[in-house]
Amino acid sequence: MNDRGTEHSTGHGGGRRVPGIVVLAVLLVPTLVFLLGPGPARAELVLMTDGGVLKVASFERLAGGERIRLELPEGGALVLPMLRIERILDDEIVRTDPEADTPPAPPAFRLRFADEQAVPEVPYGELIFETARRHGLNPALVAAVASAESAFRDRAISHKGAQGLMQLMPATAERFGLRGDEVFEPARNLDAGSRYLSWLIDRFDGDLPRVLAGYNAGEGTVDRYRGVPPYRETRNYIKRIFARLGLGAWEDDSKS
């Protein structure tokens, strides 16, 4: 993904603009959750590549997967190219303590590559290791993200349009140089997703929760909230990655 304030600067695509709606909707905060599997799709916030945000009642990817139909809450619908969509998310906010917006620091975990790190014992382990080493990443981190995103299914397509091992939205794939079916090539998909992870590590000074929140919800959202956003989907995503990395439970300071 999920810059997610301006993340996909190259992925505007065609289609008509949405003037009044975007102006009203820009007050909303963009995040993203990648969900795998077929079936009816429903979400509430759609982040555009130009920074606009639409609140929608539901959405449907059209035949071929290159366009999406957005049903508006007040009635009517828009049909837009997928390349204009940066992120799609469920608008579900958890209650948080306003005095404790910053989650606790995670246990020590080396995000960057080190010689002692081993090849992950997962599908595509050798490819993940070589890709991670090339981009200076801990292979365990890349493997954990690929596992959470696609369960290592190179042809996975979420009902929100994310694709491949690292579940890249079309605009994200284009941002990192992928075209068409290249997104389903494991080596290319892993390379693009790893480049994005590396960029996020630099952007957020190696803060793992924020890096993962950026990958899931967009760095623009993390910037806006000055930390992990209060979206249940994003916080659960971080917890899943922490579990896969053996870092124990991540406390998100949300209140039930």
| Active-site residue list | 149
φ, ψ of residue 233 in degrees (nearest 5)? -60, -45
CA atoms within 13 A of residue 96's CA, in its CB half-sphere: 20
Q: Which two three-digit tokens encode residue 214?
A: 């950026």
At residue 248, the 3 state secondary structure works out as coil
Reduced DSSP (H G I as helix, E B as strand, rest coil) percent helix, strand, coil of the chain, to 5? 35, 15, 50
Any idea which residue has 């810059």 for tokens? 3
Name residue 80's beta-bridge partners. Answer: 68
Are 218 and 2 spatial neighbours (Cβ–Cβ below 8 Å)? yes
Strands 45-48, 85-89: pairing is: antiparallel
Strands 85-89, 254-255: pairing is: unpaired
If DSSP states are collapsed to H, E and C, what string results for 180-217? HHHHHCHHHHHHHHHHHHHHHHHHCCCCHHHHHHHHHH
Q: Which two three-digit tokens encode residue 219?
A: 């760095």
